[in-house]
Amino acid sequence: MTIAPSVKGWCPGAYRPMMSGDGLVVRVRPRLARLGRDQVLGLCAVAQEFGNGFLDLTNRANLQIRGVREEDHEAVLEALNTLGLLDADPALEGRRNILMTPFWRAGNLSQDLASELMSRLGELPELPAKFGFAIDTAPVPLLRNDPADIRLERLADGQILLLADGAGTGRVVEQEAAIDAVIELARWFAASTRTGVRRMHRLLDLIDLPSANLGTAPAPVAAHPDPGPLADGYFLGAPFGQMDAAALTQLMTDTGATALRVTPWRMFWLEGATPVPTTDFITTAGDHLLHANACAGAPGCSSASVSTRDLARLLAPNVAGSLHVSGCSKGCAHSRPAALTLVGRDGRFDLVRNGHAWDEPDQKGLSPEQLLSGTQ
């Protein structure tokens, strides 16, 4: 098994977009993982006017507009500000990497903790750009396998657990002291980290966590819901995390949804929505695309030499288990092992079974035709 290749050490934001093969990538971080109806419709309009017409859901439950021209960036910022989706302080926007359980209710523990953390971002030390937090305090944890470095979770008896990512146990904290404990642990990371170490679990591979932060086992992680009607709304999947802005606008209208909540699972929840037929989004648990991962690929990404998503759509029904089609060996769309991983290289594909995009391939130099015909 080989070592994962180096990837960019920062995440694109609204103020600090990243240049890709099809233009700037502008990332929007929804507060409390939620956008009201007018914000959704406005963001779709921005993507259609200034981007490639799509919104991407990321594995940090953020939304991205791709294909923005540099000369249009200022207009995009003005539109996001009008929609209430832009932080007044660019520095604080970069720190607001908060993964939020999507099923919180107004006035409950999760909202209270997330709101307090957002109000105290200025107390955090300087942290790597990808360093993040998870407020996972629904009755059962849902976000354990999603990217975060410091987590607040709920135990079976209702207590709050502070958990450093990569540690087997955590520390019980009272609600009044929970965010104090989060900031304290972030300061420990900043004071203890090593050159090139940007994530908590990597640091814990090198040094021990202070014993005060250990001792209590976390609750088992629960599976996330399947697409379909859910509570007072509609839970849907976005193939490869990509949502056609025109189709989403129509869906908001057809379902009567009052808000949209994002998740890190390439799924979203429409509040107050009445389910309607749609071919643009995933509506059933058995859809093969739920287990298919593919990055933007060429020509959208300058690191990729192959087109990815069309091939993934065609292969998904014939793959038992998870599928990952990656434009290059960085594996941005899926950082965990997949049953079948295809990695673009010089216009063709290398094949990895039960591994990552950066692992040594089982076969090299396969064409899309060979893959589709099963002759590999």
pLDDT in tens, 102-121: 989 999 999 999 999 999 99
The tens digit of pLDDT for each residue in 316-366 reads: 999 989 999 999 999 988 888 999 999 999 999 999 999 999 999 999 999
Tell whether the model's pLDDT for residue 80 goes beyond 60: yes
Of 213, 234, 262, which residue sits at a domain end?
Answer: 213
**Long-range CB pairs of 160-165, under 8 A, 24+ apart, other chains included:** 160/109, 160/113, 161/216, 161/218, 161/219, 162/213, 163/218, 164/200, 164/204, 164/209, 164/213, 165/199, 165/200, 165/201, 165/204
> How sure is the predictor about 22, in pLDDT bands with cuts at 50, 70 and 90?
confident
pLDDT for res 164: 98
Beta strands 171-173 and 18-20, pairing class: unpaired
Higher pLDDT, residue 186 or 230: 186
The tens digit of pLDDT for each residue in 288-306 reads: 999 999 998 998 888 899 9
Does residue 11 belong to any structural domain of this protein?
no
pLDDT for res 192: 97
Our count of domains for the chain comes to: 3
Same domain, 116 and 72: no
Same domain, 328 and 296: yes
Q: Which residue is listed with tokens 């643009």?
A: 280
- Backbone phi, then psi, for 321, in 5-degree steps? 100, -165
pLDDT for res 266: 94
Average predicted confidence (pLDDT) for the chain: 93
Does residue 281 belong to any structural domain of this protein?
no
Query: What CATH number is attached to the domain comprising 266?
Result: 3.90.480.10
Higher pLDDT, residue 4 or 131: 131
pLDDT for res 375: 55
- Describe the crossing of helices 245-255 and 37-50 by its angle, rounded to 10 degrees: 160
Does residue 242 belong to any structural domain of this protein?
yes
CA distance 322 to 338: 5
Does residue 5 belong to any structural domain of this protein?
no
Does residue 4 belong to any structural domain of this protein?
no
The tens digit of pLDDT for each residue in 42-79 reads: 999 999 999 999 999 999 999 999 999 999 999 999 99
Query: What CATH number is attached to the domain comprising 349?
Result: 3.30.413.10
Same domain, 207 and 139: yes
Tell whether the model's pLDDT for residue 8 goes beyond 60: no
Residue numbers of the domain that contains 63:
18-88+226-271
> How sure is the predictor about 5, in pLDDT bands with cuts at 50, 70 and 90?
very low
pLDDT for res 373: 86
Same domain, 208 and 170: yes
Does residue 236 belong to any structural domain of this protein?
yes
Supply 290's token pair.
């739920």
Percent of the chain residues topping a pLDDT of 90: 86
The tens digit of pLDDT for each residue in 178-205 reads: 999 999 999 999 999 999 999 999 999 9
pLDDT mean over 122-138: 95
pLDDT for res 376: 58
